[in-house]
């Protein structure tokens, strides 16, 4: 149960004055639908009204606050659609206030002739005279409190004004109750941090640009609270898993020996180390949940296959789940010969299986006549029953969050879980997303894998690049061509995938395919299948191919407007080529001139192929929000913590969470009760439910 003291924060934003259904929908788009979402949305800017020059000294296009005497009103003649003007003055000169569609009675009350008033807004010169159109504020100098000197600016959306958003946030902060302190007093004192409520109020009351920094004491305090909630939730999930006994999975090694004998290569030391970790976990009585990180081409899938064989050797079954159908089919094909060599029965199950075919597969699975099942998320539909599922392998883990991991754990009698990703993740990010898991990293590539030559070329040489693609495809090789957008945009001048598709078709004929995110799954798969089979020479795509097709004949990767992509993403795309034994290259087409950060990114990519180095560099250059991106749905979205600058706080939060679990694992003490409120506050209540489930 959520602590009752938090109820005012979990109310719908329509409880706030002036927020009806229409405004609520706009605010929800900008920040979220609940009061708590508003208090956890920090200001992104500041309007400073403290500058008080005279009329003559007021610079144009800068916000100023002037004290003026109202001299006279000039109402437009009736029926004429002219502006309403009010002449004001101070000792330095005159100012005209201009109002369109004005209400005369309101203006006469707000700006009575002969009285002094404060007006705030931007000045402009019009026909040699100084004027201010629609002042932001009009106030009585005797009541200066009616006009704030500093106004925080919040994220907005079309149709939502800054004033409406600010008023809603101010009310939300005022509704925040005083909560029992969940931080250690000595830690707060050492950091010179205030309490939660005081820090929240300070974070929403900036008085200078510096106050918007993530490193102010107030913002650091709240960021730390958020990181602690994240780390504590992961610690609770981990504890619940250790408590829920797994099973001992121990094979006799015969299938693994047959498979290793059939491999045309030796395993690398990194692969052997990863397998050692996995087999130790599988033999233990606690349930395994391990993350296997390895760069594109480092040989994760063979490690996964050998792990699944250990489950089969023990008389049980294993399942491999891939994010797309085409990837699932590729896994099946790449394992087929090895499965034959080991005498293991493999099958695939995807959304494409219907009727009798599906029914027949499901009955074989339930009877135990399928040892390893490969497929998409269709593997975990209710009617899919295994005879004895001992190991689940999930490919491309970043598509699944902590919540999905908890759900998967309930399928079968607590199977072991091995999750793998080819997306190298900076250490700080992996702590926040995978702190509940053990980690193995494959940091070396199998010998003989040729490096991909990487070059940055300006867009002005586009014709040369097209000519090179024509030469390469004429020799029977294939090329990827990645564009950042699907169709032409008036807003951003980027070449769209559809436009590039048409232009390349003119040069290269019908052997050009197009895939993008707006196509349906089956349509996308059909085009990628044709490329994989070699029926297409060039595949034009948006980043949907980042994870996916393994086409050994693809030797060239062209990334258009490479300066718009993140480093890790560029590295992932580059990893799509060089998968066969041919020399491969990656061409980064950029629009000159390059900015400093973009130039640094492209240089890193040219200098190294180490995905882990690239991931850390990406975090340093761009910050966590951009590195994660919208596609990385498995990562927690932080509201106030910024992992690019709060890395030290994350390490402290991890240590604190560890200590809490040692001293008060059920969160029963007074600090424990306060920490429960913290978990709810940052929507980590799934972890609290694990406590109540015992």
State the pLDDT at residue 413. 62
Q: By C-alpha distance, which of 37, 46, 95 is closest to 66?
A: 95
Tell whether the model's pLDDT for residue 537 goes beyond 90: yes
Q: By C-alpha distance, which of 431, 423, 439 is closest to 648?
A: 431
Give yes or no for a cis peptide into 593 (omega within 30° of 0): yes
Tell whether the model's pLDDT for residue 486 goes beyond 70: no
**Residue 114, number of CB atoms within 10 A of its CB:** 8
Percent with pLDDT over 90 in the chain:
54
Q: How far is CA 392 from CA 280, 304, 316, 405, 411, in A?
A: 16, 10, 11, 11, 10
Q: By C-alpha distance, which of 674, 669, 676 is closest to 691?
A: 676
State the pLDDT at residue 244. 65
Vertex 405, ends 400 and 411: CA angle to 5°? 120
- The predicted-structure confidence for 191-237, as pLDDT tens digits, reads as follows 999 999 999 999 999 999 999 999 999 999 999 999 999 999 988 88
What does the pLDDT average to over 591-609? 84
Q: Which range has the worst mean pLDDT, 299-303, 415-419, 557-561, 686-690?
A: 686-690
567: pLDDT confidence band, cut at 50, 70 and 90?
A: confident
State the pLDDT at residue 491. 47
CA–centroid distance for 101 within its chain? 44
CA distance 641 to 354: 46
- The predicted-structure confidence for 338-364, as pLDDT tens digits, reads as follows 999 999 999 999 888 889 999 999 999
Tell whether the model's pLDDT for residue 631 goes beyond 50: no
CA distance 326 to 545: 11
CA distance 328 to 309: 18
Q: Are 149 and 49 in contact (CB under 8 A)?
A: yes
**Is the pLDDT higher at 449 or at 557?**
557
- Find the radius of gyration of the CA atoms of the chain: 31
DSSP class of residue 245 equals: B
Ranked by mean pLDDT, the top range of 322-331, 542-551, 614-623 is 322-331
State the pLDDT at residue 630. 35
| Longest Cα separation, the chain | 100
Collect all residues with Cβ–Cβ distance below 8 Å to 201 and sequence separation of at least 6.
Answer: 173
Tell whether the model's pLDDT for residue 163 goes beyond 60: yes
Give the pairing type, strands 84-90 and 93-99: antiparallel
Plot region of 253 (φ>0 → left; ψ -120 to 50 → alpha; else → beta): left
CA distance 684 to 84: 54
**Is the pLDDT higher at 429 or at 366?**
366
The DSSP result for 499-538, as a single string, is HHHHHHHHHHTT-EEEE-TTS-HHHHHHHHHHHHTTS-SE
Q: By C-alpha distance, which of 336, 177, 340, 184 is closest to 255?
A: 340
**Which secondary structure element, helix H or strand E, spans residue 119, and what is its range?**
strand 116-122
Helix (DSSP H) and strand (DSSP E) numbers for the chain:
24, 22
Which sign does the torsion angle of CA 136, 138, 141, 145 carry?
Answer: negative
- The predicted-structure confidence for 667-693, as pLDDT tens digits, reads as follows 999 999 999 999 999 988 877 777 754
- The predicted-structure confidence for 396-436, as pLDDT tens digits, reads as follows 755 556 666 665 555 556 788 898 887 777 777 777 777 77
CA distance 527 to 530: 5
* 3-state SS assignment for residue 115: coil
CA distance 665 to 235: 10
**Which secondary structure element, helix H or strand E, spans residue 12, and what is its range?**
none
Q: By C-alpha distance, which of 82, 125, 122 is closest to 104?
A: 82
First CA to last CA across the chain, in angstroms? 15
Tell whether the model's pLDDT for residue 492 goes beyond 60: no
**Residue 95, number of CB atoms within 10 A of its CB:** 23
State the pLDDT at residue 613. 83
**Residue 242, number of CB atoms within 10 A of its CB:** 14
Collect all residues with Cβ–Cβ distance below 8 Å to 454 and sequence separation of at least 6.
Answer: 574, 585, 586, 588, 605, 606
Tell whether the model's pLDDT for residue 166 goes beyond 80: yes
The two tokens of residue 187 are: 């830690």
Q: How far is CA 347 from CA 304, 369, 395, 638, in A?
A: 16, 10, 17, 40
- What are the two backbone dihedrals, phi and then psi, of residue 488, each rounded to the nearest 5 degrees? -60, 140
Give the pairing type, strands 116-122 and 63-74: antiparallel
CA–centroid distance for 461 within its chain? 34
Vertex 46, ends 597 and 125: CA angle to 5°? 100
* 3-state SS assignment for residue 583: coil
**Which secondary structure element, helix H or strand E, spans residue 255, and what is its range?**
helix 254-262
- Give 34's strand partners: 12
- The predicted-structure confidence for 51-104, as pLDDT tens digits, reads as follows 999 999 999 989 999 999 999 999 998 888 899 999 999 999 999 999 998 889
What does the pLDDT average to over 513-522? 80
- What are the two backbone dihedrals, phi and then psi, of residue 332, each rounded to the nearest 5 degrees? -60, -45
Q: Are 408 and 336 in contact (CB under 8 A)?
A: no
CA distance 627 to 606: 19
Q: By C-alpha distance, which of 193, 196, 194, 204 is closest to 177?
A: 196
**Is the pLDDT higher at 281 or at 691?**
281
Q: Are 232 and 687 in contact (CB under 8 A)?
A: yes
- Give 117's strand partners: 68
Q: Exposure pattern of 597-614 as b/e (b: 16+ CB <10 Å)?
A: ebeebbebbeeebbbbeb
Q: Exposure pattern of 284-316 as b/e (b: 16+ CB <10 Å)?
A: bebbbbbbbbbbbbbbbbbbbbbbbbbbbbbeb
Please name each of the domains of the chain with its CATH number. 4-47+153-212 (no CATH), 50-147 (2.40.50.140), 254-442 (3.40.50.300), 453-608 (3.40.50.300)
**Taking the model in full, what pTM does it have?**
0.69
Tell whether the model's pLDDT for residue 445 goes beyond 80: no
When the pLDDT of each residue in the chain is averaged and rounded to a whole number, the result is 87
- Give 585's strand partners: 453, 556
* 3-state SS assignment for residue 413: coil
Q: By C-alpha distance, which of 308, 303, 312, 238 is closest to 274?
A: 303
* 3-state SS assignment for residue 126: strand
Which sign does the torsion angle of CA 29, 32, 33, 35 carry?
Answer: negative
Collect all residues with Cβ–Cβ distance below 8 Å to 463 and sequence separation of at least 6.
Answer: none
Q: Are 199 and 222 in contact (CB under 8 A)?
A: yes
Strand extents, DSSP E, 124-268: 124-126, 129-133, 137-139, 150-153
Plot region of 18 (φ>0 → left; ψ -120 to 50 → alpha; else → beta): left
Let me know if 216 is exposed, middle or buried by CB neighbors in 10 A (0-12, 13-18, 19+): middle
- The predicted-structure confidence for 101-143, as pLDDT tens digits, reads as follows 888 999 999 999 999 999 999 999 988 899 999 999 999 999 9
């Amino acid at each position: 149960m959520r602590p009752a003291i938090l109820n005012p924060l979990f109310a719908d934003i329509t409880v706030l004055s002036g927020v009806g259904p229409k405004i609520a929908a706009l605010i929800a788009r900008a920040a979220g639908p609940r009061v708590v979402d508003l208090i956890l949305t920090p200001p992104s800017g500041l309007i400073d009204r403290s500058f008080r020059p005279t009329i003559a000294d007021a610079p144009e296009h800068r916000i100023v606050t002037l004290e003026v005497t109202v001299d006279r009103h000039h109402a437009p003649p009736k029926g004429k659609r002219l502006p309403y003007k009010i002449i004001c003055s101070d000792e330095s000169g005159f100012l005209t206030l201009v109002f369109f569609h004005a209400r005369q009675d309101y203006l006469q009350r707000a700006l009575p002739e002969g009285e002094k008033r404060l007006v705030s807004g931007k000045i402009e010169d019009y026909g040699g005279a100084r004027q201010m159109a629609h002042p932001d504020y009009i106030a009585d100098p005797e009541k200066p409190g009616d006009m704030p000197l500093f106004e925080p600016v919040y994220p907005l959306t079309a149709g939502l004004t800054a004033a409406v958003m600010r008023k809603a946030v101010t009310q939300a902060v005022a509704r925040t109750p005083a909560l029992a302190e969940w931080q250690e007093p000595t830690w707060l004192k050492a950091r010179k941090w205030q309490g939660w409520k005081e820090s929240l109020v300070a974070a929403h009351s900036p008085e200078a640009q510096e106050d918007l920094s993530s490193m102010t004491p107030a913002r650091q305090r709240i960021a730390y609270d958020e990181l602690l909630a994240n780390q504590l939730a992961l610690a609770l999930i981990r504890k619940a898993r250790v408590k829920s006994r797994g099973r001992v999975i121990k094979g006799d090694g015969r299938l693994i020996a047959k498979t290793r004998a059939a491999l045309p290569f030796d395993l690398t030391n990194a692969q052997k180390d990863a397998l050692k970790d996995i087999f130790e976990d599988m033999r233990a009585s606690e349930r395994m949940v391990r993350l296997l990180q390895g760069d594109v081409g480092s040989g994760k899938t063979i490690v996964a296959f050998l792990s699944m064989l250990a489950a089969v050797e023990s008389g049980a079954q294993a399942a491999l789940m891939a994010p797309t159908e085409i990837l699932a089919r590729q896994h099946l094909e790449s394992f087929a010969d090895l499965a034959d060599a080991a005498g293991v029965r493999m099958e695939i199950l995807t959304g494409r299986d219907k009727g009798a075919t599906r029914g027949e597969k499901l009955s074989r699975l339930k009877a135990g006549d399928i040892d390893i099942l490969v497929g998409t998320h269709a593997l975990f539909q209710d009617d899919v029953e295994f005879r004895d599922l001992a190991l689940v392998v999930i490919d491309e883990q970043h598509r699944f969050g902590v919540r999905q991991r908890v759900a998967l754990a309930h399928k079968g009698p607590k199977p072991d879980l091995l999750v793998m990703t080819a997306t190298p993740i900076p250490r700080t990010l992996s702590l926040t997303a995978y702190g509940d898991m053990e980690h193995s990293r494959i940091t070396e590539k199998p010998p003989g894998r040729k490096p991909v030559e990487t070059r940055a070329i300006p867009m002005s040489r586009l014709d040369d690049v097209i000519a090179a693609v024509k030469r390469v495809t004429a020799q029977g090789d294939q090329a990827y061509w990645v564009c950042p957008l699907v169709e032409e945009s008036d807003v951003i001048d980027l070449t769209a995938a559809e436009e590039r598709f048409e232009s390349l078709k003119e040069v290269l004929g019908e052997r050009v395919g197009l895939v993008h995110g707006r196509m349906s799954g089956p349509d996308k798969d059909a085009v990628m299948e044709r490329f994989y089979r070699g029926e297409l020479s060039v595949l034009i795509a948006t980043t949907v191919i980042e994870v996916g097709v393994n086409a050994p004949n693809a030797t060239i990767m062209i990334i258009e407007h490479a300066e718009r992509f993140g480093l890790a993403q560029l590295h992932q795309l580059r990893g799509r080529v060089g998968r066969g034994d041919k020399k491969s290259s990656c061409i980064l087409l950029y629009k000159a001139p390059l900015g400093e950060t973009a130039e640094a990114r492209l240089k890193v990519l040219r200098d190294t192929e180490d995905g882990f180095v690239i991931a850390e560099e990406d975090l340093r250059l761009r910050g966590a929000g951009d590195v994660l991106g919208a596609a990385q749905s498995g990562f927690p979205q932080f509201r106030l913590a910024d992992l690019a600058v709060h890395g030290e706080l994350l390490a402290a939060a991890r240590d604190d969470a560890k200590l809490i679990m040692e001293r008060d694992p059920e969160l029963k003490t007074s600090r424990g009760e306060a920490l429960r409120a913290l978990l709810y506050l940052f929507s980590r209540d799934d972890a609290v439910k694990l406590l109540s489930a015992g």
